[in-house]
Amino acid sequence: MTEYIVKQNALADFFKSLASGRRLLTPRGTGDKCKLGETPPDQVTLEYTNTHLSPKSLLFPQTERLMAFHNERDKPNGYVYQSLGDNGEPTVVFGIRPCDARGISISNKVFQNDRFTDPYWKGKIDQTVFVGLACDAPSPQCFCAAMGGSPFGESGLDALAFRQGGDLGLKTLTDKGAELIKAAGAQEANLADEIKKLEATAIEAQGVKADYKPIDDLDLMDLFKDPHWVATAENCLNCGVCTFFCPTCHCFDIQDEASERGGVRMRNWDTCMSWLFTVHGTGHNPRPTKTERVRQRFMHKLKYIPLKQDGVRGCTGCGRCVAMCPVNIDIRSVALKMTQTAPSPA
């Protein structure tokens, strides 16, 4: 962990160096047009709130071809699936927000879990260096601090950048990040106190000060059985837009597509809001109505993931689901309702 500074007049060279020999992806555009894209080094901007979509598709594309087969029986490997590879390439992502980086680190523990490693995810993440950009001006929908993150959060990042007047301050967090930043000619500087000050100001600027800690201490089954879920789910259309935008929603479906000469097996983003998501072959469905499905989503974010990931919540407070939900279901008010669950007598 070393801090660096890049003076305003050296920024162009800095980004040029970041982009040498690899893709440089940065947020471009504004509002709902803001998205991560390959950016020429001289066009990198720091003027954006956040990307419209979460960055998850970088490592987990919405549709991904996993493997393919041919159906010529007489030739070798007829009807035998062969992997199509991970399609990873050397990449620097500059400017993702700490909430989204935290989302990637949460999903990373799912895609590389205690028993299995997803090679398609690993192939991409191993070749990517994430340099985040701290938030000095939170948007009205932001609540990362209330969820346990920070506008200067470091989880999931190789280095964290922040605006220091017209200059760019940097803090390296991993060897991968240190190597990149050093090679890009940034100058060492002692900025630890400065970072602390900026972080405190940015957290203070966030509107949401709620304390969701009681959820961590409540029993799983008490939270699950609480009667509020019926009312909480009442407005839900099960449209799945929350899962589409969520940086930590990682569920997918696997589908085969056959053609005349063979076929491919692909995976596509899926959503727990769908009835089909869990229905058994027999027709039995463990989550038959929207009440169970809405409960599943919030329990997953706020109880199941913390239980499996040392207390880290599955919601990063990016606020996308709050902004996008067509019926104004707000994870902040759902979390508050959950904190009010009555514990069952021991």
Smallest gap, in angstroms, from Cβ of residue 107 to another protein?
9
The answer to whether residue 81 forms part of the interface with another protein (CB under 8 A) is yes
Label residue 231 left, alpha or beta by phi (over 0 means left) and psi (-120 to 50 means alpha): alpha
For another protein, the closer CB: 171 or 293: 293
Q: Which of residues 21, 116, 190, 342 is near another protein by CB under 8 A? A: 116
Q: 316: closest CA among 196, 111, 156, 113?
A: 156
Binding range to another protein, per CB under 8 A, among 17-25, 95-103, 305-313, 318-326: 305-313
Structure tokens at 208: 């949401």
Confirm or reject binding of residue 281 to another protein (CB under 8 A): yes
Token representation of residue 121: 């995810």
Min separation Cβ 163 and another protein, Å? 37
Cα–chain center distance at 271: 15
- How many residues lie near another protein (CB under 8 A)? 58
Considering only residues 166 to 185 of the shown chain, the ones binding another protein according to CB under 8 A are: none
Q: How far is CA 294 from the centre of its chain?
A: 20
> What angle is formed at CA 61 by the lines to CA 56 and CA 66, rounded to 5 degrees?
135
Does 30 bind another protein (CB under 8 A)? Our answer is no
Closer by beta carbon to another protein, 295 or else 332: 295
Q: Could you tell me the smallest distance in angstroms from the CB atom of residue 132 to another protein?
A: 25
Rounded to whole angstroms, the Cα distance separating 83 from 92 reads 26
Rule CB under 8 A: say whether 346 interacts with another protein: no
Residues 210-239 binding another protein (CB under 8 A) are: 220-221, 224
**11, 46, 66, 195: which one contacts another protein (CB under 8 A)?**
66
CB 333, CB 341: distance < 8 Å? no
258 binding another protein? (CB under 8 A): yes
- Reduced to 3 states, what is the DSSP secondary structure of residue 132? strand
Does residue 250 bind another protein (CB under 8 A)? Answer: yes
Note whether 92 and 131 are within 8 A (CB). yes
Distance of CA 267 to the CA centre of its chain: 18
Q: Give the residue with the Cβ less far from another protein, 12 or 69.
A: 69
Closer by beta carbon to another protein, 167 or else 216: 216
Phi/psi of residue 72, each to 5°?
A: -90, 105
Using the rule CB under 8 A, is 300 a contact of another protein?
Answer: yes
Question: Residues for the chain: how many in total?
Answer: 346
Q: Applying CB under 8 A, which part among 28-36, 62-70, 232-240, 327-335 lies near another protein?
A: 62-70
